[in-house]
Structure 1
Amino acid sequence: MEIFEALEPFWDFARNWYWIPLLLLYAGVISTILIENGNPTKTIAWILVIVFLPLVGLILYYFFGQKYVKVQKIKRINRQQTVKLEKKWRELDPIMDSFIQDIHEKIGDLSKVYRLMKKERLSLPTLNNNVQLLINGEQKFPLFIADLLNAKHSIHMEYYIFETDSIGTQILDILENKAREGIIVRLLVDNFGSPQLVKYMRKKQDSKILFYAFLPVTFTSLANSNYRNHRKIAVIDGAVGYIGGINISDKYINDPKNTKQVYWRDTAVRFEGNAVNMLQLSFWSSWNQTEGIPFLLEDGYLKINRDKEMGSGAAGVGFVSSDPASIGPFNMEALLLAIGEAHTSVRLCTPYYIPSQELERALIVAASSGVNVELMIPNTSDSFLVRHASLSFLKPLLQRNVKVYLYNKGFLHAKTVTIDDKLSFVGTVNLDIRSFYINYEIAAIISDPPLCIQLQNQFEQDKKESTLLNLSTWEARSRLEKAIDSVCRLLAPLL
């Protein structure tokens, strides 16, 4: 009892003056947010969350809002890798200029996107590639499995989601068998996106696969879950590459016998040619951010042909990658460049539309100048918040002649853009703030008229399964729906 009596003055002080340390804590956190000098909209959103959700807002920011220390580490790794590659880039500069000139003769000023790749050291623009468009998992997985079975040297895979379901187990068994044969198998998955596989591989002591979870999440590193490796790429023998929105999961394979399954509409591309080297370089960069033993690119992993004649195809291909520490939102910048050079059409597919102000304005300006701008998003989303946030951004587009389609057949997960039947974007990038600024993302930018035509034909097919949204329909929705949209929009910078 005497102890409690002795402590009573301290309790009285705490009851009367608790607000002082709390105020200092709030001031410190808000100052940190401002000093980080991030996106102003996101900065304001976090401040509102912290002010109007006392304590809860601080906890959310501690686990999911902080980025300074982590981003500084990623920047340091990026600088180290840039230094390692700079000599090679300088040697390749004349070749890149030659490639870009060839591409310019075919697509005109749309080739500026490839100049961006060169100047920012994002990718070697390449020619003479074979590209194959793959619609949904039904088309991708048979080819992918065949390529894995034919591997002779190495298999590199980097996926956001790798499920331990039927297709996932089948692919994992192939990887294990190949690793036992002596083939180097390196597998990276996102810790947040593939928790089941991470748990399985940690228990599997006899695996020959070189496996790492990207940015592993523990209680002390929950903030890592905000930085997601959203890429889906594979490189086999340094000769065949895959990119797109299709993860390793059964849900990407539409079984007509399973009437309860949600139809999953997605897109991927298979590459052969010099472009595969750039996917290899992207994987190498990601691998160097794990505890995996580094590997030398020269050891059979890169097969750059300086005479421009590695592949028999006619496609020009380059890649734009970005991460939380990129000096610019490169994927958004590449898209803005292309939209600005569009003359006839811009067609975009995305599962999540939470645009930056720059992207929204670019689409509006293009449509207002006579370009046919069409945007397709899913009518039913896998996220309530994202769906309503997306709807809140549509009115300005509808007011300025952008055609917006709501896909009804199932869930539209494809991330594609086509410009003027000349240039295509296919990759992992959603048209949202997270993809532009927070996630690890990559997109293939392809100059190939046949592929463009295929993508445009697929867009036309998908329009048959969609509803064209107009301004009167959007405004006729209930006040409750609009209110939900507005609330979700406030959270959009944090999604």
Structure 2
Amino acid sequence: MFDLSHFWGWIYMLFLITAIPVALMIILEKRSPFKTAAWLMVLILVPIFGILFFVVFGQEYRKTKKFSRKGLKGLNKLRTLASEQLREIGKTHPEPDHEILANENIIKLLLNNSNTLLTTGNQVELLKDGEKTFEAIFTEIEAARHHIHLEYYIFSDDKIGSRLKEILVRKRAQGVEVRIIVDDVGSWDLRKKYFADLRVKGIEIFPFMEVRFPRLTSRVNYRNHRKIVIIDGKIGFIGGINIADRYVEGMPKLGHWRDTHLQLKGDAAACLQVIFAADWYFVSHKNIYGYRYFPKFTEAAGTPIQISASGPDYNWEAIAQAFFVAISNAQKKIYLVTPYLMPPQALLTALQTAALSNVDVRIIIPEKSDARLSKWCSFSYVEQLLEAGVRIYFYQNGFIHSKYLLVDDSFSSVGTSNFDFRSFETNFEANAFIYNRAFSKKLQAHFMDDLQNSREIELPQWQQRSTLFKVRESLAHIVSPMF
């Protein structure tokens, strides 16, 4: 006869043997308290499945150094250049650049934490929405003479994807080198035939970190969220827009898709190339080097820019650290737009402290979202930000996917990173940090346009939301750190 007490005794013993070592490992890894608490709660509430879930999704690749940049040509030279710039920044010159000096601490931070070089010979164009962005990208690709490099989280085989494919095939036939990196999860729907068609035409294309059952591991959590284009080492694009029709046509349930992108001409494009070269080496084990890919810096007059990357292949969370310093140093205003508002505690405290110091802090997030868990987790931060005096706005004209930050008069950042712990801690991201008053004015006008299409949330009104609403927020807040 089956003894149920013996069965549960073995289950309990199995739990003690497996769950306790896993719990100790999580504690010893010294993750953020929120992540540690979330994982321990899962192990307690769903013992056996919690362990399996941790094995699949819970590994920390930054600490295990799985993503190595060892073997990448030019890395030592990059470090040397960064060290030289560190020695030069802040020195007295006959005509000092006040915009650079005003942001000296952020510039030095990025030089130290990610070898992010400062470039000055740049022209920057702010691109609003997909139509203008694709028009600009396709125009520059058509004019390419030596190489075209693309790296995207989402790369779709739809109307936009097909148009891009036709142009790339034609340029390759003209002798232009074409290399493409697509994220394996973000571009999961991209058929093998698409890859095969491009490769037959001489175009090199690789998926970033393939995820396949039954080999599914926590690599599903470490995604390449970058959206960058480099043409001939002189022209670059970076921002929130992927290759998909939704960025032009919107989506049925969300409506219009609002986004922001940058076109860069000049030395900053070579810095985007550094990021692409590192990722290309990771997926293909091939180095990209030489003056055709990395033109010599002109050091000409222009817009000062640092192109910073962050991800598990860096020792520091470079973008998050730069945001922290910028927000902490703010004297007048902080304008932030993000589709997902899930800040780490340090950045949450920095925003609250700035608002309590009478800095004008305004944040725009979408009311409708393409990610339900992220939407409710974002809402879970609204009340504590409102209580500190931060002004929160819900975007109304569809879905806003823009990712930009403006602080005071001469600091701004536009890129691929959302204002959330996933982007800061686990994803591969890239942002342009721009130190220029003229560009900041353009971005502020851009923000005010978005503000016109948003409704402000008042604290008394928000506190009246339903109990069910609050329960959804709380559950999302607890669960989201595990993903």
Provide the TM-score with structure 2 as the length reference: 0.93
- Distance in 2, Cα, partners of 1:91 & 1:486: 47
1:119 to 107, 112, 115: 112
Q: Do 2:62 and 2:313's aligned partners in 1 also have CA atoms closer than 8 Å?
A: no
Q: Structure 1 residue 72: deviation in Å? A: 2.2
- 1:49 Cα offset (Å): 1.6
Aligned-pair CA distance for 1:347: 0.1
Superposition TM-score, scaled by structure 1 size = 0.90
Deviation of 1:383 (Å) = 1.7
Q: 1:349 aligns with which of 333, 337, 340?
A: 337
Whether 1:26 aligns to 2:27 is no
CA contact (8 A) 1:154 1:184 kept: yes
The corresponding residue for 1:58 is 51
Shift of 1:121: 4.0
Q: Structure 1 residues 133 and 91 mapped into 2: Cα distance closer, same or farther (>3 Å)?
A: closer
Partner of 1:85: 75
Q: Counterparts of 1:37 and 1:485 in 2: how far apart (Å)? A: 26
Give the whole-Å Cα distance in 2 for the aligned partners of 1:371 and 1:11.
64
* 1:301 paired to 2:293: yes
- Find out whether 1:207 has 2:220 as its counterpart: no
CA change 1:233–1:109 in 2 (3 A) is same
Counterpart Cα distance in 2 of 1:225 and 1:261? 26
The reply to whether residue 175 of structure 1 matches residue 168 of structure 2 is yes
Does the alignment pair 1:490 with 2:478? Answer: yes
Q: Indicate conservation of the 8 Å contact 2:82/2:115, yes or no.
A: no
Aligned residue in 1 for 2:255:
262
The structural deviation recorded for 1:201 is: 3.5
C-alpha distance after superposition, 1:219-265 (max 9, x if no partner): 2134221110000001000010000000011111147xx98871111
Q: Aligned Cα RMSD in Å?
A: 2.5
- The 8 Å contact of residues 64 and 226 in structure 1, kept in 2 or not, is answered as yes
Query: In structure 2, which of residues 223, 229, 240 is the aligned counterpart of residue 228 of structure 1?
Result: 223
Deviations 1:37-76 (A, max 9, x none): 22221111112122212333223222111235994221xx
After superposition, the Cα gap between the structure-2 partners of 1:19 and 1:185, relative to the gap in structure 1 and judged at 3 Å, is same
1:401, CA displacement in angstroms? 1.1
Is residue 217 from structure 1 mapped to residue 217 from structure 2 by the alignment? no
Q: Which runs of 5+ in 1 are unaligned?
A: 1-7
Q: Name structure 2 gaps, 5 residues minimum.
A: none
- Name 2:248's counterpart in structure 1: 253
Q: Which amino acid aligns with 2:206?
A: Y
Instruction: Tell me if 1:46 matches 2:36.
Output: no
Tell me how far apart the structure 1 counterparts of residues 114 and 372 of structure 2 sit (CA, whole Å).
38
Q: Is 1:96–1:124's contact at 8 Å kept on the other side of the alignment? A: no
Deviates more, 1:130-139 or 1:87-96: 87-96
Q: Does 2:234 align with 1:244?
A: no
Query: Aligned partners of 2:266 and 2:170: how far apart in 1?
Result: 27
Q: How far does the alpha carbon of each residue in 1:249-294 deviate from its partner, in whole angstroms, 9 at most, with x for none?
A: 1111147xx9887111100000011111110001011111113432
Q: Counterpart in 2 of 1:5?
A: none
**CA positional deviation for 1:325:** 4.2
> Is the Cα contact below 8 Å between 2:303 and 2:435 reproduced in 1?
yes
The one-letter code matched in structure 1 to 2:293 is Y
What are the superposed Cα offsets for residues 129-148 of structure 1, whole Å, 9 maximum, x if unpaired? 10000001111111100111
- The 3-state SS of whatever aligns with 2:262 is strand
Change (3 A) 1:84 1:107: closer
Structure-to-structure mapping, 1:388-403, within 5 angstroms = 388-403=376-391
Q: 2:240 is aligned with what amino acid?
A: G
Contact 2:114–2:314 (CA under 8 A) maintained in structure 1: no
Structure 1 residue 9: deviation in Å? 11
Partner of 1:439: 427
